[in-house]
Amino acid sequence: MPRKILIIDDEDDIREVAALSLESVAGWDVITANSGAQGLARAVEHRPDAILLDVMMPGMDGPTTFRELRKNPATAKIPVLLLTAKVQSSDQRRFADLGVESVLFKPFDPMTLADQISGVLGWN
């Protein structure tokens, strides 16, 4: 059975490229959400194997969305990987301190995104 990934990102282009990449390269099922609130609802509904979560979003940002996912027993154990353009070490430490599985950086390589996620989550 293919892996199921939820991508939560407010940028249409990023969602589309990541989804196309994970579907075509890895054969995974991809669900998308354009906001933290929509992502929380889709996570409960679809119970993905992992979540790729943008850090900077209007309304509910990535770290807030992550904390909300952890509060809900239905989504608390789903691995989350943050996706960010912020590469400063202070930001990286702050993100790592949240308890996410990993931090991936934008721009990402669509051809290696699935391998990055698989490597972090031990899906190889």
Note whether residue 68 is domain-resident.
yes
* pLDDT of 66 above 80: yes
* pLDDT of 52 above 90: yes
pLDDT number for residue 16: 97
pLDDT number for residue 87: 67
Rounded (10°) angle between helices 36-46 and 62-71:
30
Note whether residue 124 is domain-resident.
no
pLDDT digits (tens, 9 = 90+) for 72-121: 999 999 999 999 887 677 777 777 788 899 989 899 999 999 999 999 99
pLDDT digits (tens, 9 = 90+) for 3-46: 999 999 999 999 999 999 999 999 999 999 999 999 999 999 99
Note whether residue 37 is domain-resident.
yes
* CATH code at position 61: 3.40.50.2300
Edge to edge, the sheet with strand 4-8 lists 29-33, 4-8, 50-54, 80-84, 102-105
Count: domains in the chain: 1
Structural domain including 65 reads 4-118
Note whether residue 123 is domain-resident.
no
* pLDDT of 1 above 90: no
pLDDT number for residue 97: 81
pLDDT number for residue 85: 84
